[in-house]
Amino acid sequence: MSDWKAKRFWKDAAVVEVEGGFTVELDGRRVKTPAKRPLTLPTRAMAEAVAAEWQAQEKQIDPRTMPVTKTANAAIDKVAVQKDEVVEMLAAYGDSDLLCYRAESPEELVARQDALWDPMLDWAAAHLGAKLAPRRGIMHAPQDPQALAELYRRTAALDAFELAAFHDLVSLTGSLVLGFAALEQSHAPEDIWTLSRLDETWQAEQWGRDDIAEAEAEIKRQAFLHACAMIVLCRAA
């Protein structure tokens, strides 16, 4: 039974408007999540992306080729039912944000971090109302409680679909600030990803490339770009 795979049983995948949003029907049968909940999506654009994934399936269903469907399922089956816990987990990144923990040496790395990461902290102060302070070294030092409270408020204001994508934006970069920058589309996704990889890029410049590490980083990069695309679908008209 371990080799069993679900087979395609439908001819057409169609978007249908329903109460609370949109869904996808396969030959008139509404798609449900793995937990058997209705797959009700917030925007037509997201529903069209899900429908396209189902329509693209051939003889056997391959979930690996259905990233939008997978994220939508996670939003409904996981995030929506434990939103408070997800918000707590993500907001906690603000007190240990990647951008706030700087190298003490060498001077070239210190200068690069300051030059590239300081503008993002300035952006967070100006656009998010949360001023976080950088530190030298890896020892934890608490951030301003008011700044953390504002970041928590903004995180809690996201709906389940936004939070599902935001989870990946934050966890993959290690930064709540970079996650919000991607969420607000204030910077190009590739630029945000590059900022999150500053330390790894520096190490590669000093010691040479690691093919295994680069392959793993590319998987994470693709996941980050998918999360950015999900935000666009969440906020499409």
3-state secondary structure of 166: helix
Tell me 128's DSSP state: I
The residues of the chain that CATH labels 1.10.3580.10 are: 82-234
Interatomic CA distance for residues 134 and 102, integer angstroms: 7
- The CATH number of the structural domain formed by 82-234 is 1.10.3580.10
Q: For 168-177, what is each residue's pLDDT tens digit?
A: 999 999 999 9
How many C-beta atoms surround the C-beta of residue 197 within 10 A? 16
Which one is the CATH code of 1-64: 3.30.2180.10, 2.10.10.90, 3.50.50.60, 3.40.1410.10?
3.30.2180.10
Interatomic CA distance for residues 225 and 7, integer angstroms: 29
Strand positions, DSSP E, 119-172? 135-136
The answer, as to whether pTM is greater than 0.75, is yes
Q: For 27-81, what is each residue's pLDDT tens digit?
A: 999 999 999 999 999 999 999 999 999 999 988 889 899 999 999 999 999 999 9
